[in-house]
Amino acid sequence: MEGRAQDARQKLFVGRETAAQMLDVSTRTIDDAIRGGSLPASRVGRRVLIRVDALIAYAERVNARTASAQRDSLR
């Protein structure tokens, strides 16, 4: 499945499952982020599609928050 996630990086949009694989999280985590408004997505027919650049920006925001929380806990 890793190959599929690597191929997705060259696409503009990915589905929920591929997005979850790319971030190594569950599809529920992706769904929660979409519902919460922190990860924008579009519905095309029955599919939910996520822009790869939005997914990368989401991952960077989450990573920055995690790093900040870890720094704060060390003080």
Q: pLDDT per residue over 31-43, tens digit each?
A: 999 999 999 999 9
- The CA distances from residue 28 to 17, 33, 74, in Å, are 10, 9, 30
In this prediction, residue 68 carries a pLDDT of: 73
Which helix or strand (DSSP H or E) is residue 50 part of? Answer: strand 47-51
d(CA 47, CA 16): 8
What total of structural domains would you count in the chain? 1
The CATH number given to whatever domain includes residue 29 is 1.10.10.10
Q: Which domain holds residue 36?
A: 2-73
The stretch 12-39 carries a mean pLDDT of: 97
